[in-house]
Structure 1
Amino acid sequence: MGRPHDLAGAAKAFHRDGFVILPSAVPADAAEHLRVLVEHHYQDPQVHAADPERDLVRGDVSLMRMFEHDQAFRDIITAEPLASLVETILGPDCHVISQNALRIPPGKGIVNWHIDDALFFPFLDEAEAPQESIPCFSLNVMCALSDIEQEQYGPTQVIPQSHMSGRRPPYSPDLPGKPRSLLAQAGDVYLLNSQTWHRGAPNRSDRTRYVLTTAYGRRFISQRFYPFIGYRLPDGVLEGASVRLARFLGRHDKGPYG
């Protein structure tokens, strides 16, 4: 779908820094199409009037499970080179654990530093020797759907190598990396280790920021589709899906535990 990239080099940078940027991984026209779909979905009165148990929108900025609403979101799950890079990092039996669209209007932002899951490696904080790499159990693929080319537009910010700290936020100046803003054009994609400290800087412009976030995990990381044990894919989501796409959505072969 996007332009070719050095996947081995990208995976190495990801493990070293806790993130990697893939410029123009999604064509600009495809990113614009997704942005329009996000806005259309957000403007649908039924989305905001729905029973909270349907979990369609959170905090008025995060739209949930976008693959349920249009096949364009479903199909980007296996878009190249993204899917192959995810499989390089997580293994060939990984799956999607969430897919949300962020719509950050002027004056808003997910401004608190955070990680996206439990702290997997707390013992690293006590390690005597620095680690060169650690296993990655889950990651987030974030696709810019609008230009976020200056600080005022509220870019994602990361602390490079913070995934190796064995700590969770708040931010501490003794971390090896300093905050870095991931400026982007629509169609640029960045992958974040779930342990990497990050946030969305405040949107100080008059432009809404759009990002599609698809999180992937290894097979043993559970999918996070509310209401979890009672969730089932809506009819039609798997229609025409390839074997690979169906597996990303959770249709696994039998394994050791069932």
Structure 2
Amino acid sequence: MSDPEGALSTFQRLGFAVLPSLVPRAEAGNLRDLVERRYQDPATHSAEPEEDFFRGEVSLMRMFEYDRAFRDVIDYTPVADLVEAILGPDCHMISQNALRIPPGRGITKWHIDDELFFPFLDTLTSTAGADSAIPCYSLNVMIALSEIEDEHPGPTQVIARSHLSGRRPAYTPDLPGKPVSLLAQAGDAYLVNSQTWHRGAPNRSGRTRYLLTTAYGRRFVSQRFYPFVNYRMPGDVLAGASGRLTRLLGLHEKGPYG
């Protein structure tokens, strides 16, 4: 990531930022192979519902449990520093899923990734001052694990500045801007504000598209590991983790509420 300050400014202004060559291509290829291996594992498809390994036919859940390579991405130094600059030094990872989008599929419905935090914004006129006053509570780091060189593989699409619209896509059929397709090489990444309207365009190529998505939230945003109250992180995930990674995994110091 050659210009972290530029990426931070772009993220705050547009609601997303592209981080080229975040992960070496060989490492991205290894992560892609691990995603496919987990998908092909019969245990993934035969697990009890409460284990929640595979959801919606395209999403593999809690990849950090499957292999340490995914766990270590959570604390990947260039992007983790940027995430902390946006969310604060006590933020944590709230989910990590892999998307495996075969030909003909796609998460094509426009959506945001959390509750609508600022519904009052639709009554305001957006200015540079207003932009800087809007905090970010959660975001997604999406790492392309396969080539998305044109529209055919179904790139992630975003609506620039839609995080300032004060609306969620379900409230209106109109898009508050022209879709931007985030084309990428394997290893490129993009940060997307949870309030930014986005979708995965339909995969019209002849190959599967792979994407690793790690979501982060501020300290008060709960982690999203089903079944939530009864979830217990496996001990081998925490074993050998650095101080920052341990906190990103959710082991915080005591705070105001306990």
Q: Report the counterpart of residue 7 of structure 1 in structure 2.
A: 4
Superposed displacement of residue 174, structure 1 = 6.3
Matches within 5 A, 1:107-186: 107-128=104-125, 130=127, 131-133=130-132, 134-170=134-170, 173=174, 175=176, 177-186=177-186
- Measure the CA separation in 2 of the matches of 1:52 and 1:228: 13
8 Å CA contact retained: 2:126, 2:164: no
CA distance in 2: counterparts of 1:255 and 1:7, whole angstroms? 30
Identity of counterpart residues, as a percentage? 68
Query: What is the match of residue 82 of structure 1?
Result: 79
Matched, 1:60 2:50: no
Kindly report the root-mean-square deviation, in angstroms, between the aligned alpha carbons of the 2 structures. Answer: 1.1
Tell me the distance in 1 between the aligned counterparts of 2:174 and 2:225: 36
Deviation of residue 178 (structure 1)?
1.1
Moved over 3 A (4+): 170-174
| C-alpha distance 143-95 of structure 1, shift in aligned 2 (>3 A) | same
Q: CA 1:107–1:87 in 2, change beyond 3 Å: closer, same or farther? A: same
From the superposition, tell whether residues 59 and 191 of structure 1 become closer, same or farther in structure 2 (CA, over 3 Å): same
Is the contact made by 1:156 and 1:182 (CA closer than 8 Å) also made in structure 2?
A: yes
Q: 1:235 Cα deviation (Å)? A: 2.2
SS of aligned partner of 1:96: strand
Q: Deviation string for 1:5-49 (max 9, x for gaps)?
A: 221211110010000000001100000000000000000001101
1:24 to 21, 24, 32: 21
Unaligned runs of 5+ in 2: none
**In structure 2, C-alpha distance between the alignment counterparts of 1:40 and 1:174, rounded to whole Å:** 38
Residue 226 (str. 1) matches residue 223 (str. 2): no
**Distance in 2, Cα, partners of 1:100 & 1:76:** 12
Q: How has the CA–CA distance of structure 1 residues 141 and 174 changed in structure 2, closer, same or farther, with 3 Å as cutoff?
A: closer
CA change 1:174–1:36 in 2 (3 A) is: closer
- TM-score (norm. length: structure 2): 0.96
1:217 aligns with 2:217: yes
AA at the equivalent of 1:61: V
Partners of 1:254 and 1:52 lie apart in 2 by 33
Structure 1 unaligned segments of length 5 or more: list them.
none
Q: Say if 2:96 and 2:212, in contact at 8 Å, map to a contact too.
A: yes
Q: Secondary structure at the match of 1:152?
A: coil
Give the residue type in structure 1 aligned to 2:131: E
8 A Cα contact 2:138 2:216, kept in partner: yes
Residue of structure 2 in register with 1:194 after alignment: 194
- Matched residues in 1 for 2:253 and 2:44: separation? 34
Counterpart of 2:56 in structure 1: which amino acid?
Answer: G
More helix by share: 2
The code of the aligned residue for 2:40 comes to Q
CA distance in 2 between partners of 1:174 and 1:221 (Å):
28
- SS of the residue 2:5 aligns to: helix
